[in-house]
Every structure is written in structure tokens, then in C-alpha cells.
Structure 1
Amino acid sequence: MTTPRLVTTGELARALGLHPRTLQRYRSLGVLVPELESPGGHARWDVEKVKQQLRELRRKPE
């Protein structure tokens, strides 16, 4: 099994076409959870998992 490449918040934002602040806000609200968080508080993300999380959020009824 291949280990997913983890990316920074900035790289994730570019991959998704979002502003990094949007991702930071989603993270602070608990909407998105990073794959890894460094001891210094820096998030590392699996792009495919985040895409799946966002797809699931769109499916939830309001």
C-alpha cells in the first residue's frame, strides 16, 4: 500500500482552489481534521481525504 503524500495548508489550498484562511477556519471549527499535526501546531493534510471530507459535508442535510 502506498503512503499518501502529506501537504501543507498552503499546498492543500492551491490543490482545492480555496484560500488558506478558509482551511484554517474549517480546521479551527473542527470541520476538517488534518492527517498530522506537528508539535509546533502545523497541519499536514492528505488531499484525497480532505476531498472526501468535503464531499461528505456537501451531502449532509442542513
Structure 2
Amino acid sequence: MKSKKFILESRVKDRVGFQIERILENEKPHLSQGSNFLATIGLVEPFIGLYIKYSC
């Protein structure tokens, strides 16, 4: 009885793991689309803040 439960649990874990991997592979292109813009803003923003602070 325990062996059947163990086999069932391992199959469920394998299927869930496979589904998660598939979802992540499908989402990777979408995740990288906005990262260049965010990196640019993160790089430039401190200098803009300093310029505004000391230009007044």
C-alpha cells in the first residue's frame, strides 16, 4: 500500500516539475522584454536625481 502511494506521489512530483519547466521556458522571452528598459532607468536615475538636487 505504501509503495503505491510513493509511486503515485513521485509521478505527481515529476508531472508538476515538468509543467513548471514548460511554463518557465514559455515565459523567458516575455520576462526579458522589459529588463533593458528597467536597467537603463536604474542606471540613469541617480544622476538625474543629483542634477535636480544641486541645480536648484
**TM value normalised by structure 1:** 0.28
Q: Relative contact order: is structure 1 or structure 2 higher (C-alpha 8 Å, sep ≥ 6)?
A: 1
Larger radius of gyration: 2
**TM value normalised by structure 2:** 0.31
Write 1 or 2 for the structure with the bigger share of helix: 2
